Amino acid sequence: MGSVTRNKWYKYVFLKRYGPLARYLPKTRMMSLHSFRALLGKYGHVIVKPVWGSRGRGVIQVSKLGHHKYGIHYENRQKVKRGKKNTYRYLRKKIGSTPYMVQKRITRPTIDNRPFDMRVIVQRKRHSSHWVVTGKVIKVAGKGYIVSNNTRSKGQLHKFKSGIRKSSIRHLSVSDLESKIDKVSIRSAKRLGALFPHHRIYGMDIATNQKGRVAIIETNLYPAMSHFRKLNDRELYNRIMSYKRG
């Protein structure tokens, strides 16, 4: 069922096993009562998402509220359940037998009180082994949403530097942050090359926390161009398209 290229669990395990990248991958397990309990207990907030998902479909945040209560945030709706096991049962009913994973929630910085993460495009030209970050965009979740997927959440897009300067991490050095993000993205692309030797483009979903610590949320083999097409400035879009041809 489905292909390895879109299997989030497979790509997670592959990158997690690679020493230099392991620390950038938030702890993730296949969804079960046991793993759900363990991760929610340990981190207080988890993201529950489909192994074969895309565009933010089916992504659910679960948060420990105290007094045995748990908050469930799905799309732009929130619910409260009592007890971990009861919360798990509720989620199971919702997701059925669809393969799901449970992941540590990264507490992302915000712009106008809405969390954001980034899409980083990494490419190489034909017959070249030199990977380059050709585009980076900040994706802000739309009002009331957890996911930053632009269409689903009706969110906002910003160019990297101007977005960071407007954000709750504007006190961090933009160039330090950018070089960390680029390094992790390029390493991921190189590593994924061992699985997909002919592939020339990746779209990494990268998040940071409020301290600027970098995390790899997921890696996409077929990244949308729409993020870059929608920016007023077409420079990044043109660069990405020219790399695609090259």
Ligand X SMILES: Nc1ncnc2c1ncn2[C@@H]1O[C@H](COP(=O)(O)OP(=O)(O)O)[C@@H](O)[C@H]1O
User: Which member of 11, 49, 200, 227 binds ligand X (CB under 6 A)?
Assistant: 49
Contact 188, 202 (CB under 8 A): yes
Q: Which is nearer to ligand X, 23 or 57 (CB)?
A: 57
Q: Which is nearer to Mg ion, 155 or 205 (CB)?
A: 205
Does residue 177 belong to the site contacting ligand X (CB under 6 A)?
A: no
Does residue 135 belong to the site contacting ligand X (CB under 6 A)?
A: no
Place of tokens 């906002």: 156
Q: SS in 3 state form for 58-105? A: CCEEEEEEECCEEEEEECCEEEEEECHHHHHHHHHHHHCCCCEEEEEC
Residue 21 identity = L
Q: Which residues bind Mg ion (CB under 5 A)?
A: 205, 218
Contact 189, 120 (CB under 8 A): no
- Give the range of 88-96, 100-108, 122-130, 187-195 binding ligand X by CB under 6 A: 100-108
Point out the residue whose Cβ comes nearest to ligand X. Answer: 148
Q: Which is nearer to Mg ion, 2 or 246 (CB)?
A: 2
User: Which member of 207, 216, 236, 240 binds ligand X (CB under 6 A)?
Assistant: 207
Q: Which of 200, 219, 196 is nearest to 25 (CA)?
A: 219
Please list, in sequence order, all residues whose beta carbon lies within 8 angstroms of the beta carbon of residue 19, skipping any fewer than 6 positions away. Answer: none
Residues 103-122 interacting with ligand X (rule: CB under 6 A) = 103-106, 108, 117
Q: Which is nearer to ligand X, 26 or 177 (CB)?
A: 26
Q: Report how far apart, in Å, the C-alpha atoms of 134 and of each of 34, 74, 150 are.
A: 41, 32, 20
Which residue ranges make up the site for ligand X (CB under 6 A)?
A: 26, 47, 49, 53-57, 59, 103-106, 108, 117, 146-149, 205, 207, 217-218
